[in-house]
Amino acid sequence: MSFVSRLPGTCVCGNAINAGDLIERNAMGKYVHAACLSVQSLRPVYRIAKDTVEEWAAAGLVRVAGLDPDHARELNGVGFSRYDGDFGHDMAEKILAENGLTDKMWAAVVKLATKYQRQIGPKPTLIAV
């Protein structure tokens, strides 16, 4: 932790870093307000699928959600179960919005897709993309 003697520019929060502000270097080596460091590191990072399994899970959940447009309960073995419906639809919407998911969401989506392999097909071999 240090105090600014010369002005290192703008913080990740969008505000200027002023002389006398308490600053830290973040993981990128950029100066930020000390108070903004933890805020930034806690912010979840959204990313696109990184391997064939995540791509398969994303496409599969979107398909299952599409088979179940009115959140109907598992009718004839099609669509999400009552238990998975809300989460499954929420994730499918996020995937379709194309902003990606967080690591934690990706893990949950792969787990959920694995449970629905009967509808979406078997999990592929893991290959990074």
- Residues within the interface to Zn ion (CB under 5 A): 11, 13, 33, 36
Shortest reach from residue 8's CB to Zn ion, in Å: 11
Q: What is the layout of strands, in order, in the sheet containing 31-33? A: 2-3, 22-25, 31-33
- CB-nearer residue toward Zn ion: 9 or 122: 9
Answer whether 57's CB lies under 8 Å from 113's CB. yes
- CB-nearer residue toward Zn ion: 40 or 114: 40
Shortest reach from residue 30's CB to Zn ion, in Å: 11
Shortest reach from residue 29's CB to Zn ion, in Å: 16
- CB-nearer residue toward Zn ion: 15 or 117: 15
Shortest reach from residue 13's CB to Zn ion, in Å: 3
- CB-nearer residue toward Zn ion: 35 or 96: 35
